[in-house]
Structure 1
Amino acid sequence: MYVELVDETGQVPSEIIEQTKEVLAFAAKKLNLKESTEMSVTFVDNARSHELNLQYRETDRPTDVISLEYKPDESEFFFDEDMELPEELLEEMDPFIGELFISTDKAAEQAADYGHSIEREYGWLAVHGFLHINGYDHYTPEEESEMFGLQEEILTAYGLTR
């Protein structure tokens, strides 16, 4: 999986950037995503997180991670409009699955609040957002159990334990 990483803050250590790429590639293998899958991660401060949260979620506060899932629009491709394209073909034509915005301010705050390493917090936020853009959610107790269970399984297998 290809992950484009951008650090808008200019303060994210190179080790965290590398870990983010690795943990997302690890999670992609766990979900059996194709090698051609692409996504982006942008590290932002709380002010930018606040703007994005207001813009995309109509929530007037910063948040730790914002996940924007991307679904290709079949109308972008020039085929007979009665033709239904298989999901595999759409994925090959546009392998981009989404983007994450991770607040560095929230990551530092939450690592301290939860008493674990900053590495663990960045890993948690990346995998959490990644699962969201791959269709997982936590609106119901059942969804939460499934998503958080898978998230913990991925982080533990990767080596980011509490």
Structure 2
Amino acid sequence: MSIEVVNESGYDGVNEESLADVATFVLREMDIHPSAEVTVSVVDVPTMSELHLRWMGLEGPTDVMSFPMDELTPNMGRPDSAGFGPAMLGDIILCPEFAHKQATKAGHDLGHELCLLTTHGCLHLLGYDHITPEQEQKMFALQNELLMDWYAYCAGRHIEFQPKPTGPGAFPSAADRAELDNQLAADEKSAGQGGIPAIAEPKET
């Protein structure tokens, strides 16, 4: 698995090695071809805001965006899939300054939040989404399972990028995450900064 992490955010506390490690683990667990390639770009708020507006028509930054290279479905990309070989799966864009607000509100550190968002982004690259309630439940359950398994995998290698958090917001359900986004939107609004969308998805107005 080839994971390239490009950190152009200038934001403190970003561990590029942990992002590459969790992305590699997630894609391996999803039986993706071992020669698949993913780029994780870590950007500042202005850059994320520009991408958010250009590709989703929404003003302001967000936490994570995913740009699949090909139209994949959740079971494609397995090593035993006919005709599938090494490929560029796509790009994941992270905004640590924005994500830090979410991490603080949820009660864990930035390192965990960025690993959670990287896991979320990987699943989007593989065709998972959270448009319908059924999709939300499936994607967030899988996201949490993969992230918890990654912490166990790290422990087995005697590696700790950051302590595994135990708070209720560390491995959220879709409803938990929606509530977090609502709380942050209220905080931003009270500060006169406007609301924010849920994870890379527009909110209805």
Tell me if both proteins adopt one fold, taking TM over 0.5 as the criterion: yes
Question: 2:89 — aligned with what?
Answer: 97
Structure with the higher fraction of residues in helix conformation:
1
TM-score by length of 2: 0.66
Match of 1:114 in 2: 106
* 1:48 aligned residue: 47
Per the alignment, residue 32 of structure 2 pairs with 33
Shift in Å, 1:12: 4.9
Partner of 2:7: 7
Return the TM-score normalized by structure 1. 0.83
Cα-to-partner distance string for 1:13-60 (whole Å, 9 max, x where unaligned): 56x100001101110111100110001011011111110011111111
Number of the residue aligned with 1:137:
129
Q: Which has the higher contact order (CA 8 A, sep 6+)?
A: 1
Report the aligned-residue RMSD: 1.7
Report the CA distance shift for 1:148/1:45 in structure 2 as closer, same or farther (over 3 A).
Answer: same
| Aligned residue pairs, count | 145
More strand by share: 1
Give 1:10 deviation, angstroms.
3.2
Paired with 1:128 and 1:54, the residues of 2 have a C-alpha distance of 20
Measured in 2, the distance between the counterparts of 1:122 and 1:113 equals: 14
In 2, distance between residues paired with 1:156 and 1:30? 12
- Sequence identity of aligned pairs in percent? 32
For 1:13 and 1:105, the matched residues in 2 are separated by 10
Q: Per-residue deviation at 1:71?
A: 1.1
- How far, CA to CA, are the matches of 2:10 and 2:45 in structure 1? 14
Deviation at 1:158, TM superposition (A): 1.1
Which residue of structure 2 aligns with residue 146 of structure 1? 138
Query: Where do 4+ consecutive residues of structure 1 move more than 6 Å?
Result: none
Partner of 1:75: none
Which amino acid counterpart does residue 145 of structure 2 have in structure 1?
Answer: E
The structural deviation recorded for 1:9 is 1.8
> Per-residue deviation at 1:88?
4.5
**Residue type matched to 2:135 in 1?**
E
Over 3 Å counting, the alpha-carbon distance change for 1:12 and 1:70 in structure 2 is farther
Instruction: Indicate which of 142, 148, 156 corresponds to 1:156.
Output: 148
